[in-house]
Structure 1
Amino acid sequence: MWHQDEIHLSARPRGFHLVTHELVEALPGLEACEMGLVHLQLLHTSASLTLNENSDPDVRHDMDAFMRRLVPEGLDYFRHTLEGPDDMPAHVMASLLGTQLTLAVRDGRLALGTWQGIWLGEHREYGGSRRVIMTLNGRDSA
């Protein structure tokens, strides 16, 4: 079986946001997939997808604080500055963390660890809504 859909995530403030439930709810055919893979591709270059802690929101806060320190705004060697001081750092963070995830599917669910969740990293102050293409491939349980 193959399914593909595009989801629009609502605009969020800068930081890391748990979006697992939102993505799972929008993925057609997941419940019928006995075994397979789902590929998530974020269609933007100033945000990211990553898999990390799904329980304690302090982890998302701390990751944002770390990334802002790792790639601060206002570095004098950045040339790409026309879209604002947060844009080039956002591109760097998106490249460091990535814009794609491939996850296992088992028995109609994402095969995630107990404390794992999918995060959207919003690296712009006003990034706007974000689009994700979700592609599911696997063996149908029917």
Structure 2
Amino acid sequence: MRQALHHLTIETRGKGLTEITRPVRLWLQETGITTGLLTLWCTHTSASLTVQENADPTVRRDIAAFFEDLVPEHRQYIHDDEGPDDMPAHLRTMLTGVNLSIPVAHGAPTLGVWQGIYLFEHRRQPHRRTVVLHVLGD
């Protein structure tokens, strides 16, 4: 049994889904681990991780619009230290989560044909985000 750890840095453009499947796959190939479990951990409280369709970009736009409706910025929040998108970003992160566990087979994450791994930025401004990748296996 072997393990490997990596910090992946992602530059976001502000709110929305940024696909990170490719750099995750590349790093996983570099480890040489072919069977195991891949864990991804987002080290932020205003960005999250998700697996979602990667074929049709309208899916990502609809998801973003849904979260705008679900957790609106215009509501009166007590916590607004960093602006009106601060508390909604925390709530959206809470709803979507900061970690993923994906089985690894044949040296790759076992994603479906139309699935991709995404960092979901919940703040308006671009940010530099860190996702920790850990794989355990053979």
1:73 corresponds in structure 2 to 73
Partners of 1:100 and 1:127 in 2: how far apart?
Answer: 21
Question: How many Å separate the matches in 1 of 2:59 and 2:117?
Answer: 13
One-letter code aligned to 1:41: W
Q: Which residue of 2 aligns with 1:34?
A: 34
Alignment match, 2:124: 125
- Three-state SS of the structure 1 residue aligned to 2:132 is strand
Structure 1 gap segments, 5+ residues each: none
Give the match for residue 84 of structure 2.
Answer: 85
* Structure 1 segment 1-142 matched on structure 2, within 5 A: 1-27=2-28, 29-30=30-31, 32-76=32-76, 78-139=77-138
Amino acid of the residue matched to residue 53 of structure 1?
E
The count of corresponding residues between Structure 1 and Structure 2 is 137
Deviations 1:6-33 (A, max 9, x none): 1111132211122111222234644x22
Q: What is the CA RMSD across the aligned residues, in angstroms?
A: 1.3
Ranges in structure 2 where 5+ consecutive residues have no aligned partner: none
Per the TM alignment, residue 64 of structure 1 is displaced from its structure 2 partner at its CA by: 0.1
The two structures have a TM-score, normalised by structure 1, of 0.91
Indicate the larger mover: 15-24 or 97-106: 15-24
Q: Contact 2:50 / 2:117 at 8 angstroms: preserved in 1?
A: yes
Confirm or deny: 8 A CA contact 1:41 1:100 kept in the other structure.
yes
Cα distance in structure 1, aligned partners of 2:54 and 2:137: 25
